[in-house]
Structure 1
Amino acid sequence: MEKTIIPNNYQSTLNVYDTQTAIGFIKRCFEEALTGSLKLKRVSAPLFVDERSGLNDNLSGTERPVKFDVPALSDNGEVVHSLAKWKRVALKQYDFHSGNGLYADMNAIRRDEELDNLHSIYVDQWDWERVITKEQRTIDYLKETVQGLVNAMAETASRLHTKYPNVDVSIDTSVSFVTSQELADLYPDLDSKEREHAYVKEHPTTFILQIGDVLKHGTPHDNRAPDYDDWALNGDLLFWHEPLQCAMELSSMGIRVDDQALLAQLEKANAKERLEFPYHQQVINNELPLTIGGGIGQSRMCMLLLGKAHIGEVQVSLWDEETINACHEKIFLL
């Protein structure tokens, strides 16, 4: 089965030059809307971290980080997968208080990523994190934050349409919230990706709650690292992507683990050895603020709002020969 999909009669609304200009416009608009909605300040972010710090995102646990030696140091460096844990430490170091937070432009290399219309080995996203109180560690607060992100996206889409009238992608601000267990109960004969496709087709803006823990049928909806999101208070934000006729995940986010959730999830994941890392010790000893945070894919958002059929139309990356050959007539890969 071919991994690259070329929609019938597909033609990009904007040419290459206008696409580049529109990408910059989207990023500026969304950053303004995001910072206003969540009270975030921009900070500089690392491209790599010490491999022994425990700060890198382990994703599902199987992806290999890009490592390199640093002659001036005794340890290796690792290119980040995301800033999921680094941001929480930064909030403490920068002395952020409840109700305020930060965001950063995150660039990563995910060498083991499958290459298809939605996936690249290069990842660019807005990584954000906000300090919360103990009382805000609730599903209701998570839903409220999700709604704020969706509203910021809808505002961006509206401004984009004003500037480029031919680009007519709108964002449905009515978010449908569904737990991963409810999704499995609705579609017992489908796998997790098929469930997402079926549900999001009927609910074009969907937030799937509680991802990472094992469901009743014995496996999780999706694998999730045990040491940043609280699996009971997290989720994925998905939108219906019309050109590809599929569900597109744009953001993974959640309320972060406290000491009890971290211990419980490391036990479930058989990963208690991570307690030796400095980051995990800080969580266990309650030395880090309670936070909510996530990542929002920059290229994915541009792809969605511009109606593009391939992520290579909005970012520069490396592509295999099959992808290049499949795209050469109708899709211009940057």
Structure 2
Amino acid sequence: MSKTQIPPHYHSSLSIYETQTAIGFIKRCFEEAMIGSLKLKRVSAPLFVNSQSGLNDNLSGVERPVQFDVPSLNTDGEVVHSLAKWKRVALKQYDFHPGNGLYADMNAIRRDETLDNLHSIYVDQWDWERVITKEQRTLDYLKEVVQSLVNAMAETASRLHTKYPSITTKIETDIAFITSQELENRYPDLNSKEREHAFVKEHPTTFILQIGDKLTSGSPHDHRAPDYDDWALNGDLLFWHEPLNCAMELSSMGIRVDEHSLLKQLEKANAMERLDFKFHQQVAKNKLPLTIGGGIGQSRMCMLLLEKAHIGEVQVSLWDEETIEACKNNIFLL
């Protein structure tokens, strides 16, 4: 059975040509709004890193990076999963100070991704990171930054509607903040994805706080690498996606680990061997700036704002025959 779902009577509001133009418009508008609110500078980003550097995002710990040998360097490279750790090193190297940050266009290959309406093996996102002070390592500050990003999205959606009146998506700027434990307490008989669906349906803009640590049930809401986000100071930003009638995660972000939370989380994850990497040694010795950061899905945002039913309508990727067959009548895969 195909994992692709085609909503009854689905029809794209924009033609293929209009869609391509609108994607560029969304990206320009959102970048302008994000840069202004978070004081970010664009930097060039790596497509791959040294496999021995410890800089790649390990995601949940089971995904395999795409690796290749580099004979001239006598080592292996691997395509990034995200720039979660690289950005923090770059902020130090580029001499950024508290109150300023960077962002980059990140392109990744996630070879083990399950393909469906929302997931592709190709990932494109705005990866951003900002230097903060020790006093800003709080949930209140995290919420302020989340609000700034949602406001930037709402501004983008408004400008999009002005340009394309047939697009009526509105972003609710009143954010419902809830911890992953509160979510489990509220829906004890549902799994994590079902909890997200139930809550976001009632609260179309939701930020789920504190993801990665075990809940009272014994399992985390979702797996999160132990060496970049502080599990007590992070979360996921979700929106209600009307065409698919589901919750859509658009961003994972958080205040990053300091020397104390890194050691605590590595121990919980049975990953103390990562302290052999230079990045982890720098964090453990307080040699890197304190930061907040995350990734914002570019294709996901375009899909949400343009009311698309499949991510393949806004990005080029590879699809299995079942997906191609399911989409052949109502959905144009780029």
- What is the TM-score normalised by the length of structure 2? 1.00
| Residue 19 of structure 1: aligned partner | 19
CA shift for structure 1 position 123? 0.1
**1:312 aligns to what?**
312
Q: Which residue of 2 aligns with 1:280?
A: 280
Shift of 1:205: 0.0
Where do 1:240-251 residues align within 5 Å? Answer: 240-251=240-251
1:272, 1:76 → 2: CA distance?
Answer: 23
**Which residue number corresponds to residue 185 of structure 2?**
185
Aligned: 1:271 with 2:297: no
Q: Aligned pairs, how many?
A: 334
Determine helix, strand or coil for the equivalent of 2:8.
Answer: coil
Q: 1:297 maps to which residue?
A: 297
Alignment match, 1:232: 232
* C-alpha distance after superposition, 1:196-227 (max 9, x if no partner): 00000000000000000000010000000000
2:261 is matched by which residue type in structure 1?
A
What does residue 211 of structure 1 align with? Answer: 211
- Aligned partner of 1:18: which letter? E
Structure 2, unpaired ranges of 5+: none
Q: Does structure 1 conserve the Cα–Cα contact (< 8 Å) formed by 2:13 and 2:166?
A: yes
Matched to 1:20, the amino acid is Q
- Whether 2:34 is the aligned partner of 1:45: answer no
* Aligned-CA RMSD value: 0.4
Residue 74 (structure 1) shift: 1.8
- State the partner residue of 2:64: 64
Q: Which runs of 5+ in 1 are unaligned?
A: none
Q: Deviations over 1:159-184 (max 9, x none)?
A: 00000000110000000000000000
Query: Helix, strand or coil: the match of 2:162?
Result: helix
1:2 deviates by: 3.2
Question: Per-residue displacement from partner, 1:276-333 (whole Å, max 9, x unpaired)?
Answer: 0000000011110000000000000000000000000000000000000000000000
Q: Which amino acid aligns with 1:276?
A: D
Tell me, what secondary structure is at the counterpart of 1:208? strand
Alpha-carbon distance, 1:57 to partner: 0.1
1:199 maps to 199
- Which residue is 1:33 aligned to? 33
Matching residue's letter, 1:23:
I
Structure 1 distance, partners of 2:284, 2:181, is 29
Q: Distance in 2 between matches of 1:8 and 1:273?
A: 50
Indicate whether 1:254 and 2:258 are aligned.
no
Amino acid at match of 1:54: G
Aligned equivalents of 1:75, 1:98: Cα separation in 2: 35
Structure 2 CA distance for aligned equivalents of residues 275 and 42 of structure 1 = 30
Residues 50 and 75, structure 2, Cα contact 8 Å, conserved in 1: yes
Partner of 1:125: 125
Aligned-partner Cα distance in 2 for 1:130–1:6: 39
Question: Structure 1 counterpart of 2:161, which letter?
Answer: H
- Determine if contact 2:310/2:331 at 8 Å carries over to the other structure: yes
Alpha-carbon contact 2:2-2:323 (below 8 Å) kept? no
Q: Distance in 2 between matches of 1:192 and 1:15?
A: 36
Using the alignment, how far apart are the partners of 1:321 and 1:186 within structure 2? 39
Runs of 4+ in 1 over 2 A off after TM superposition: none
